[in-house]
Amino acid sequence: MAALTDKDILFIEEKAKAIRETIIQMLVAAGSGHTAGPLGMADIFAAMYFYVLKHDPKNPHWEERDRLILSNGHITPVRYAAMAHAGYFPVEECLTLRKFGSRLQGHPERERLPGVETTSGPLGSGLSQASGLAYGLRMDGKKNRVFAFMSDGEQEEGNTWEGAMFAGTYKLSNMTAVIDRNNIQIDGMTEDTMPLEPLADKYRAFNWHVLEVGGHNIRDFVEAIEEAKSIYEKPTVIIAHTTPGKGVPDIECDFHYHGYAPGGKKETEELLKKLRTAAGKVPHEYA
What digits encode the pLDDT tens for the residues 189-217?
A: 999 999 999 999 999 999 999 999 999 99
Q: Where are the domains of the chain?
A: 6-279
- Residue 52 main-chain phi, psi, to 5 deg: -85, -55
Tens of pLDDT, residues 35-55: 889 999 999 999 999 999 999
Tell me how far apart the alpha carbons of residues 37 and 287 are, in angstroms, rounded to a whole number: 24
Tens of pLDDT, residues 148-172: 999 999 999 999 999 999 999 999 9
Tens of pLDDT, residues 69-94: 999 999 999 999 999 999 999 999 99
Q: Are 41 and 212 in contact (CB under 8 A)?
A: no
CA angle 104, 184, 257 (to 5 degrees): 55
Higher pLDDT, 233 or 266: 233
* pLDDT of 249 strictly over 80: no
* pLDDT of 271 strictly over 80: no
Angstrom CA distances, 97 to 27, 39, 81, 108, 232, stand at 7, 16, 10, 11, 40
- Tell me the HSE value of 282 on the side-chain side, using a 13 A CA sphere: 22
* pLDDT of 283 strictly over 60: no
* pLDDT of 286 strictly over 70: no
Instruction: Report the amino acid identity of residue 171.
Output: K
Q: How confident is the model at residue 236 (pLDDT cuts 50, 70, 90)?
A: very high
* pLDDT of 285 strictly over 50: no
Residues 6+ apart with CB under 8 A from 90: 84
Tens of pLDDT, residues 16-39: 999 999 999 999 999 888 888 999
Tell me how far apart the alpha carbons of residues 98 and 50 are, in angstroms, rounded to a whole number: 25
Quick one: pLDDT at residue 281? 47
Pairing between β-strand 188-189 and β-strand 209-214 as defined by DSSP bridges: unpaired
Q: Can you say whether the dihedral through the CA atoms of 75, 102, 126, 133 is positive or negative?
A: negative
Quick one: pLDDT at residue 250? 76
pTM above 0.85, yes or no: yes
Quick one: pLDDT at residue 94? 97
Pairing between β-strand 188-189 and β-strand 67-70 as defined by DSSP bridges: unpaired
Quick one: pLDDT at residue 251? 80
Higher pLDDT, 266 or 148: 148
Percent of the chain with pLDDT over 70: 94
* pLDDT of 2 strictly over 80: no
CATH 1.10.490.10 is held by the domain 6-279: no
Quick one: pLDDT at residue 287? 28
**Average confidence (pLDDT) over 263-272:** 69
